[in-house]
Amino acid sequence: QGQVLVTFDLDGYRYYVKSNSITSIACTVSGTPCRDLTIYTKASVYRVDGSGVTTSVDGNVTLRIDAHDAGAALTGDTIGFTVLSSKTSNLYWSNNWAFDTTAQAWRTIPEAVTVGGGAAVQIN
């Protein structure tokens, strides 16, 4: 039942990635409570130009979200977003696309989330 809306700026446009339906949610590190989630959702990508004109870029893309809740600590939360074409597997966007030397592969490396006065990632 939730919805995810990711926005980013690229090449003079603002892009919106809007989730349509959650495909799967998995607790990726065992523990109680689960503090590490991977979420897959189908999404649509839209582009807005400087005049405010919205254009549909692609539908049925895959949005992957990797989230870590550090618990009561005010630091340590991380999040990663990856948007891939379901048709070609091309990367539309990642908040931190980098080569992972341990996995010997390119992937989104979750980044630290900072917020004043409370936790930024909370998994319930």
Which two tokens mark 115?
Answer: 């917020």
Measure the CA angle with vertex 102, ends 91 and 66; round to 5°: 50
One-letter amino acid identity for 122?
Answer: Q
* Dihedral pair phi/psi, residue 64, rounded to 5°: -110, 135
One-letter amino acid identity for 57?
Answer: V
User: What's the pLDDT at 124?
Assistant: 46
Burial per residue of 69-100, b for 16 or more beta-carbon CB atoms within 10 angstroms, e otherwise: bbeeeeeebbbbbbbbeeeeeeebbbeeeeee
pTM score:
0.83
Nearest of 22, 21, 17 to residue 83 by alpha carbon: 17
Which two tokens mark 58?
Answer: 């692609």
pLDDT digits (tens, 9 = 90+) for 12-42: 999 999 999 888 989 877 778 888 999 999 9
pLDDT digits (tens, 9 = 90+) for 73-106: 667 889 999 999 989 989 999 999 999 999 999 9
